[in-house]
């Protein structure tokens, strides 16, 4: 498959993902792993993404005015334990919404306990975002971060995160079954 514009395609879509299309994050994180030596399967996956794009060109981020009593900032984290077939690395990701619309998102590979890393990454982002919006005039007390893993919730509510639980409470809901 040498000579196909695989990297160019991934890059072009990636720019869309970074700017206004969080829905492409996972797909990009998967197809961008094979840039070095893409095979036919990978090229097909890329074309699949393009077909999806073709049907959702108008998609983007829509910001609306908030309803009273709504939390400003809210986060969602999740992980896919050892989901990578080649390296058994895990995938973690998060999305943060501001009054209901996504403002920041990320999908990343990690080698350690995926669910916990996902939460840590989420908290790091939350701290930055909270400061940022505070400076720009939106005050936010606690940041809710949703997470579906019981052991991580347990871990987070005890020992390690003591200094941070003051500012961030973990409200954890079951997102998936």
Nearer to another protein, 2 or 19 (CB): 19
Question: Edge to edge, what strands does the sheet with 90-98 contain?
Answer: 101-110, 90-98, 73-80, 144-146
96-115: contacts with another protein (CB under 8 A): 98-99, 101-104
Using CB under 8 A, pick the residue from 2, 3, 40, 62 that binds another protein. 62
Distance between CA atoms of residues 114 and 107, nearest Å: 12
Q: By the 8 A CB rule, do 60 and 35 touch?
A: no
Pick the closer one to another protein by CB: 24 or 79.
Answer: 24
82 is a site residue for another protein (CB under 8 A)? no
- Contact predicate 72/138, CB 8 Å: yes
Contact present, 34 and 42 (Cβ < 8 Å)? yes
Q: How far is CA 19 from CA 24, 61, 89, 105, 141, in A?
A: 11, 9, 27, 10, 28
Which of the stretches 47-55, 111-119, 139-147, 159-167 binds another protein when contact is defined by CB under 8 A?
47-55
Binding string, residues 140-169; x marks residues near another protein by CB under 8 A: ------------------------------
Element (H, E) at 75: strand 73-80
If one asks whether residue 67 binds another protein (CB under 8 A), the answer comes out as no
Element housing 105 (H / E):
strand 101-110
Q: Which of 40, 64, 166, 177 binds another protein (CB under 8 A)?
A: 64
Residues that bind another protein (CB under 8 A): 5, 9, 12-13, 15-16, 18-21, 23-24, 26-27, 30-31, 33-34, 37, 39, 41-42, 44-45, 47-55, 57-66, 85-86, 98-99, 101-104, 128-129, 131-133, 135-138
């Amino acid at each position: 498959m040498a000579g196909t514009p695989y990297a160019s395609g991934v890059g072009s879509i990636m720019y869309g993902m970074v700017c206004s299309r969080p829905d492409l994050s996972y797909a990009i994180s998967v197809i961008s792993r094979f840039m070095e030596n893409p095979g036919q399967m990978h090229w097909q996956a890329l074309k699949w993404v393009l077909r999806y794009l073709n049907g959702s060109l108008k998609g983007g981020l829509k910001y609306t005015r908030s309803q009273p009593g709504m939390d400003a900032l809210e986060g969602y984290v999740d992980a896919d334990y050892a989901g990578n077939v080649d390296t058994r690395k895990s995938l973690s990701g998060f999305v943060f919404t501001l009054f209901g619309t996504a403002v920041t998102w990320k999908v990343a590979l990690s080698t350690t306990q995926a669910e916990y890393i996902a939460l840590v990454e989420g908290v790091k982002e939350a701290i930055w975002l909270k400061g940022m919006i505070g400076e720009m005039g939106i005050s936010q007390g606690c940041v809710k971060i949703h997470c579906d893993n019981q052991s991580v919730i347990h871990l987070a509510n005890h020992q390690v995160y003591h200094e941070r639980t003051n500012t961030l409470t973990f409200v954890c809901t079951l997102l998936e079954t």
